[in-house]
Amino acid sequence: MFQMGCAARRGAAMVSKTSGSYVPWSKERTIEVVDKHRCERGPLMPILHELQEMFGYIDPDAVDLLASELNLSKADVHGVVTFYKDFRSDSAGDSVIRLCRGEACQSMGAEELARHALEHLGIGFGATTPDGAVTLEQVFCLGNCALSPAVMVEGRLKGRVDESVSTRSSTNLRRGRGDGCCHGVRAPRRRSAFCGRRRGRGRHRA
């Protein structure tokens, strides 16, 4: 009976993110996400991931709400949010660029790429452009070392990125045109798992 109630709530909790931007934080939507996961084992992480994806960050009020809804202490929830780098505690821009500064990427020019991105966007790591379009973050491995230097743009992984790609992506994002897919990426000889492009043939996958 209890399981059926959970399934019904899960079905009812059809919440979605506005295309290309985040939904403003609200208590109601947060409760919907909680209801969707509350019957799972260890619901906190999936809830936090979904909130992060929906709102772009974990609102401080959500921490209190999750603690009371999941019967946890505020310190427990806060501890998880602050421990994992994937979770933000303040709102991000419409798009997030994550630039890898891990060892493999550094050896392939990530520092130069980082300097270029900082200069081009005119912000520091962890900051958002004044127009609210782009947030720039640094990470220390995206699991794409074989195709370094790597970046993640709006959740999509890109490998063998050079300055022209960085510039194009950030410029397009600020103009609200997406990131321009993988144009300008120095494509490997074989078709990459991260880029559907084959030179001279067909279209890219987005």
Residues binding ligand FES (CB under 6 A): 100, 102-105, 141-145, 148, 150
Helix (H) or strand (E) holding 137: strand 134-139
Give the integer Cα–Cα distance in Å for 29 and 119: 37
Angstrom CA distances, 120 to 90, 149, 165, 171, stand at: 23, 18, 12, 9
Kindly report the CA angle at 160 between 126 and 50, in degrees rounded to 5? 45
> Least distance in Å: CB of 141 to ligand FES?
4
Nearer to ligand FES, 123 or 145 (CB): 145
Alpha carbons 5 and 163: distance in angstroms, whole number: 52
Report the residue closest to ligand FES, judged by CB: 102
- Nearest distance in Å: CB 155, ligand FES: 15
Comparison of 8 and 193: residue with beta carbon closer to ligand FES: 193
Shortest Å, Cβ 160 to ligand FES = 11
Q: How far is the CB of 12 from ligand FES (least distance, A)?
A: 39
The residue (of 30 and 144) whose beta carbon lies closer to ligand FES is 144
Closest listed residue to residue 65, CA positions, set 106, 85, 35, 100: 35
**Shorter beta-carbon distance to ligand FES: residue 129 or 148:** 148
